[in-house]
């Protein structure tokens, strides 16, 4: 596992090489600052030794005037540095924003109506600004320290080399102690940012599902988890403060101790032949140049530097998650191969290697075969794989339901089969033809996500949206009645009624999207919790319509009743996948037993009857 520094170093070098002109400009202005540092102490020493101590006030004032002019030159150099800094900092911020937006869109490509998760919003609005400000401060401080130290050391050497024996040992020791704190501080900073993201994601999930939390009586567990995340953030902040104390010790050793040693050894230095002006000039270097530069450097590297390293690592390499991940979802515990097994642990038989196929593939009347061969997918190079070495075969005309905890990869699986995402390893075939993201479907297939898409226009235009060759009114009526859209059609005023998506409920939008998919000629239908806003009775009717419709059907289920209506059930648990019927999985899958135990069939039957009496199916 590479460290963040090792991962970021090649990108940083490429970024800086493309801006060589800006770096040379900053170096030129910094050399002028270095000259200012050199003259500040050297001018004081010469003003005392060659002017005031010899009785020549004019010479002393002249040297002080030289030092004053050096201060003015330093101010002009600082102005030039700030002018060139924007050409270095703003491109970094723009690049980071592009990366964050690109990764977010990649994750949400299968879910156009779903809002960005809270962690992505935190990276876009908060962490990119942290990176921008930290990088700007770091460039200013590091550049200033290097050239200020060079000017001061050159000045001490020109006054008396003996001074370096007093100044350099504590300076070097303090810098080494400070550098030793950078790695643990970066680790604590990373933990602090992770706690901040987790808390943001948790609060976003709770705010969105507050009604479900209250309905399920989960207030105390939810509050306990939020309290734990708050404590994690506070603990990380306390640890950061502890390492900040060590940084103060390093600053005292590198910056304050040389001044103390210079004052204590001043009589001895005078006996060695050094003049009072030389000692005063050395003291000027330490107090006016080295100590401020050290203080600024340690504060910047200790806070902004480690923060920049952590933020850049998170923004450019992860962690990224499955779009269906919520605050309570846990990542896969290991990277073990994700194999699909039947209840007797025998692997699902994959199709043999196929001969070359013609460009156009026609599905059998029962629907196409769907094959996944050693499929691995992760949202980002540093992210934990959502699916790992998954092998699965869905036979033509089969009705498969996918279940598992939130964030385990169910939505990712449907997006891969639909060709919206590209697996990192392995391949996916539909009707014998390989599926590639962005290349367009070789076989018509329909994916209906949770957030159904309905556009302004007539109801018939919405229903015919996936029928490139059109469809007769009788077919529209048949599909509408099959999925339970009939009541809504009557309420709206017929198939030619104008739709205003804002006035429709989520359940009504889902019914329209389901009727659209049912009407389409696609022999493969993927329903990713496409009935989650319907009551149990309406959901049962819609799923039965698709089960009776010719073609292959893959459903991501959020209720166990959906699983019981399927030919087979695929259980994803992050380490392995198990496939079988409802009864078979009850006997061989502990996770499926847990999921099935959360929903009681009688409860569904009761709620379905009540819902049918109290509200329209799409309500």
Percent of the chain residues topping a pLDDT of 90: 5
The reported pLDDT for the residue numbered 347 is 33
The reported pLDDT for the residue numbered 272 is 87
Considering only residues 395 and 75, tell me which one the structure prediction assigns the higher pLDDT: 395
Contacts 24+ apart (CB under 8 A), 147-150: 147/30, 147/31, 147/33, 147/34, 147/37, 148/33, 148/34, 148/37, 148/289, 148/290, 148/293, 149/290, 149/293, 150/34, 150/37
CA atoms within a 13 Å half-sphere pointing along the CA-CB vector of 50? 14
Chain centroid to Cα 153, Å, comes to 44
Considering only residues 95 and 223, tell me which one the structure prediction assigns the higher pLDDT: 223
What is the band of 312 on the pLDDT scale with cuts at 50, 70, 90?
low
Q: Is the pLDDT of residue 466 over 80?
A: yes
Q: Per-residue pLDDT averaged across 159-179, rounded? A: 87
d(CA 274, CA 265): 11
Q: Which residue carries 């339901």 as its tokens?
A: 401
Sheet with 577-580: strands ordered across: 340-341, 577-580, 568-572, 399-403, 552-556, 524-528, 445-448
Strands 433-434 and 498-499: unpaired
Q: Is the pLDDT of residue 606 over 50?
A: no
d(CA 5, CA 12): 10
Q: Is the pLDDT of residue 116 over 50?
A: no
Q: Is the pLDDT of residue 605 over 50?
A: no
Considering only residues 356 and 12, tell me which one the structure prediction assigns the higher pLDDT: 12
Q: Is the pLDDT of residue 104 over 50?
A: yes
Best mean pLDDT range from 64-73, 150-159, 600-609: 150-159
Q: Is the pLDDT of residue 110 over 60?
A: no
Q: Is the pLDDT of residue 351 over 70?
A: no
The reported pLDDT for the residue numbered 554 is 92
Considering only residues 536 and 18, tell me which one the structure prediction assigns the higher pLDDT: 536
Given a contact cutoff of 8 angstroms between Cβ atoms, the answer to whether 60 and 90 are in contact is no
What the block records as the tokens of 430 is: 């539909």
Q: Is the pLDDT of residue 472 over 50?
A: yes
The reported pLDDT for the residue numbered 321 is 42
What is the band of 238 on the pLDDT scale with cuts at 50, 70, 90?
confident
Q: Which residue carries 């060695």 as its tokens?
A: 272
Q: Per-residue pLDDT averaged across 218-230, rounded? A: 82
Cβ-Cβ contacts under 8 Å for 541 (sequence gap 6 or more): 483, 484, 617
The reported pLDDT for the residue numbered 193 is 72
- The pTM of the full predicted model, rounded to 2 decimals, is 0.46
The DSSP code for 575 is S
Q: What is the DSSP string of 398-431?
A: -EEEEE-STTSSHHHHHHHHTTSS--SEEEEEET
What is the band of 308 on the pLDDT scale with cuts at 50, 70, 90?
low
Q: Is the pLDDT of residue 184 over 70?
A: yes
Given a contact cutoff of 8 angstroms between Cβ atoms, the answer to whether 535 and 511 are in contact is no
Burial class (CB within 10 angstroms; exposed 0-12, middle 13-18, buried 19+) of 276: middle
Considering only residues 37 and 44, tell me which one the structure prediction assigns the higher pLDDT: 44
Q: Which residue carries 């100590």 as its tokens?
A: 291
What is the band of 512 on the pLDDT scale with cuts at 50, 70, 90?
very high
d(CA 546, CA 616): 20
CATH 1.20.1560.10 segments of the chain: 16-109+118-317
d(CA 292, CA 349): 71
Q: Is the pLDDT of residue 580 over 70?
A: yes
What is the band of 122 on the pLDDT scale with cuts at 50, 70, 90?
low
Considering only residues 323 and 230, tell me which one the structure prediction assigns the higher pLDDT: 230
Strands 433-434 and 425-430: antiparallel
The residue length of the chain stands at 619
The reported pLDDT for the residue numbered 331 is 36
What is the band of 511 on the pLDDT scale with cuts at 50, 70, 90?
very high
Q: Is the pLDDT of residue 345 over 60?
A: no
The reported pLDDT for the residue numbered 290 is 81
What is the band of 602 on the pLDDT scale with cuts at 50, 70, 90?
very low
d(CA 312, CA 309): 5
Fold (CATH) for 16-109+118-317: ABC transporter transmembrane region fold (1.20.1560)
Q: Which residues, in sequence order, are bridge partners of residue 555?
A: 401, 527
What does pLDDT average to over the chain? 75
The reported pLDDT for the residue numbered 96 is 74
Q: Is the pLDDT of residue 461 over 60?
A: yes
Tens of pLDDT, residue by residue over 477-496, are 999 999 998 888 998 888 88
Best mean pLDDT range from 179-183, 290-294, 443-447, 584-588: 584-588
Cβ-Cβ contacts under 8 Å for 522 (sequence gap 6 or more): 444, 445, 446, 466, 551
The reported pLDDT for the residue numbered 8 is 62
What is the band of 607 on the pLDDT scale with cuts at 50, 70, 90?
very low
Alpha helical stretches, state H, 219-275: 219-251, 257-264, 266-271
Cβ-Cβ contacts under 8 Å for 437 (sequence gap 6 or more): 419, 420, 421, 422
The reported pLDDT for the residue numbered 341 is 40
Question: What class does CATH assign to 340-347+364-442+523-614?
Answer: alpha beta
Percent of the chain residues topping a pLDDT of 70: 74
What are the backbone angles phi and psi of residue 570, rounded to the nearest 5°? -105, 120
The reported pLDDT for the residue numbered 514 is 92
d(CA 517, CA 531): 13
d(CA 486, CA 617): 10
The reported pLDDT for the residue numbered 362 is 35
d(CA 316, CA 323): 18
Give, for 597, the enclosing helix (H) or strand (E): helix 590-597
Considering only residues 317 and 416, tell me which one the structure prediction assigns the higher pLDDT: 416
What is the band of 154 on the pLDDT scale with cuts at 50, 70, 90?
confident
d(CA 21, CA 205): 47
The reported pLDDT for the residue numbered 618 is 45
Q: Per-residue pLDDT averaged across 411-429, rounded? A: 87
Residue spans of beta strands (DSSP E) within 421-574 = 425-430, 433-434, 445-448, 457-458, 498-499, 524-528, 552-556, 568-572
CATH 3.40.50.300 segments of the chain: 340-347+364-442+523-614
Chain centroid to Cα 576, Å, comes to 25
Q: Is the pLDDT of residue 324 over 80?
A: no
d(CA 465, CA 516): 7
């Amino acid at each position: 596992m590479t460290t963040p520094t090792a991962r970021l170093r090649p990108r940083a070098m490429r970024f800086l090489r493309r801006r060589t002109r800006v770096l040379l400009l900053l170096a030129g202005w910094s050399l002028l600052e270095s000259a200012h540092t050199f003259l500040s102490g050297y001018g004081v020493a010469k003003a005392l030794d060659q002017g005031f101590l010899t009785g020549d006030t004019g010479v002393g004032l002249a040297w002080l005037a030289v030092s004053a002019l050096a201060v003015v030159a330093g101010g002009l150099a600082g102005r030039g540095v700030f002018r060139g800094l924007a050409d270095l900092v703003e491109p970094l911020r723009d690049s980071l924003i592009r990366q964050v937006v690109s990764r977010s869109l990649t994750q949400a490509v299968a879910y156009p109506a779903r809002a960005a998760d809270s962690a992505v919003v935190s990276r876009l609005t908060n962490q990119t600004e942290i990176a921008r400000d930290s990088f700007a401060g770091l460039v200013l401080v590091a550049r200033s320290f290097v050239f200020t130290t060079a000017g001061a050391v050159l000045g001490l050497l020109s006054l008396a080399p003996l001074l370096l024996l007093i100044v350099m040992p504590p300076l070097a020791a303090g810098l080494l102690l400070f550098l030793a704190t950078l790695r643990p501080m970066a680790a604590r900073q990373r933990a602090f940012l992770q706690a901040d993201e987790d808390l943001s994601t948790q609060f976003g999930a709770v705010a969105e599902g507050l009604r479900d939390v209250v309905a399920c009586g989960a207030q105390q567990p939810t509050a306990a988890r939020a309290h734990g995340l708050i404590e994690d953030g506070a603990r990380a902040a306390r640890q950061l403060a502890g390492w900040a104390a060590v940084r103060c010790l390093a600053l005292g050793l590198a910056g304050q101790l040389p001044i103390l040693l210079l004052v204590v050894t001043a009589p001895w230095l005078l006996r060695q032949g050094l003049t009072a002006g030389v000692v005063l000039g050395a003291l000027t270097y330490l107090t006016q140049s080295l100590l401020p530069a050290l203080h600024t450097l340690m504060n910047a590297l200790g806070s902004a530097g480690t923060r920049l390293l952590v933020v850049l690592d998170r923004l450019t390499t992860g962690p990224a998650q499955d779009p269906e991940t919520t605050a309570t979802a846990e990542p896969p515990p290991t990277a073990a191969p994700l194999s699909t097994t039947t209840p007797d642990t025998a692997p699902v038989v994959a199709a043999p290697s196929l001969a070359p196929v013609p460009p156009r593939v026609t599905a059998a009347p029962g629907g196409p075969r769907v094959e996944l061969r050693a499929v691995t997918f992760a949202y980002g190079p540093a992210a934990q794989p959502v699916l790992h070495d998954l092998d699965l075969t869905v036979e033509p005309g089969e009705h498969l339901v996918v279940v598992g905890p939130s964030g385990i990869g169910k939505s990712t699986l449907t997006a891969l089969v639909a060709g919206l995402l590209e697996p990192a390893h392995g391949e996916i075939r539909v009707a014998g033809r390989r599926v590639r993201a962005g290349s367009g479907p070789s076989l018509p297939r329909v994916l209906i996500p949770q957030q159904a898409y309905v556009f302004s226009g007539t109801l018939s235009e919405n229903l015919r949206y996936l029928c490139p060759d059109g469809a007769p009114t009788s077919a529209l009526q048949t599909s509408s009645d099959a999925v339970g859209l009939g009541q809504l059609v009557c309420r709206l005023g017929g198939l030619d009624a104008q739709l205003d998506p804002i006035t429709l409920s989520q359940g009504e939008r889902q019914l329209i999207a389901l009727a659209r998919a049912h009407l389409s000629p696609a022999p493969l239908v993927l329903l990713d919790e496409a009935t989650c806003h319907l009551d149990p009775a309406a959901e049962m009717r819609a799923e039965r319509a698709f089960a009776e419709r010719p073609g292959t059907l893959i459903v991501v289920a959020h209720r166990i009743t959906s699983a019981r209506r399927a030919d087979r059930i695929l259980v994803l648990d992050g380490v392995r996948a198990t496939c079988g019927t409802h009864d078979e999985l009850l006997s061989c899958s502990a996770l499926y037993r847990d999921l099935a135990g959360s929903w009681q069939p009688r409860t569904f039957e009761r709620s379905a009857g009540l819902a049918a009496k109290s509200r329209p199916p799409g309500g």
